[in-house]
Amino acid sequence: MSEAAAQQLKRVERTFFSRSALEVAPALLGKLFTVGSVTIRVTETEAYLQDDPASHSYSGVTNRNRVMFGPAGILYVYFTYGMHWCANVVTGGAGDGQAVLLRAGLAESGHEIVSARRPGRQAREWTNGPAKLAKALDLDGRRNGVDLCSEDSVGFFDDNQVVVDVEVTPRIGISKAKDLPQRFLYNAEQQGSSPKPG
């Protein structure tokens, strides 16, 4: 196949997000997430439904989580541990209170910018955690509620990357509903453009 065909970019539309977070979370793996001049490929996600003690939406609408109850395809950014921001995409229908946490990725473009935002860290540590990913993409409270389906400079894009060997595991860093297998990840370095033996 030609490079051009493989790299054709299609925006991920709102209909993609308008279904259960349990479906969207694995489907987002391998997609490109662009914020301004930085693009990362999504390699790890987690699903959070309303009927889930570990979800911010579990106890109903509050000022913090209200974006989760809005329409799909909107960015939900929250602040935690007194210093970190984490980014989610709202899924389902309006009123559903669900989202997919973006836990990790790999920088595809904008490496110099990301490097400047993560001073002194190795490239491997740039985006291998939810707060690191948010930092690399400069996502914080100012971006909470931004529509990811309407502006060219922000959103998800599909370059037909084929994702295989998706792992499903319990989620990370939570104390409730620990056992739910709602974390999805794959090894992008092992199946990207630079094949390696093994």
Partner DNA sequence: CCATAGATCGGCT
Partner DNA sequence: GCCGATCTATGGC
Residues engaged in binding DNA (CB under 7 A): 46, 48, 54-57, 59, 62-65, 68, 76, 78-84, 86, 88, 99, 101, 118, 120-121, 125, 129-133, 171-175
Smallest distance, Å, CB 41 to DNA?
A: 17
Q: Measured from the CB atom, is 67 or 149 closer to DNA?
A: 67
Q: Measured from the CB atom, is 8 or 189 closer to DNA?
A: 189
Smallest distance, Å, CB 190 to DNA?
A: 15
Smallest distance, Å, CB 173 to DNA?
A: 1
SS3 at position 197: coil
Q: Measured from the CB atom, is 129 or 159 closer to DNA?
A: 129
In contact, 50 and 98? CB cutoff 8 Å: yes
The 8 Å CB, 24+ separation contacts for 162-165 are: 162/30, 162/191, 163/29, 163/30, 163/191, 164/191, 165/190, 165/191
Smallest distance, Å, CB 88 to DNA?
A: 5
How far from chain centre, in Å, is Cα 41? 9
For residues 43 and 25, what is the distance between their CA atoms, to the nearest angstrom? 10
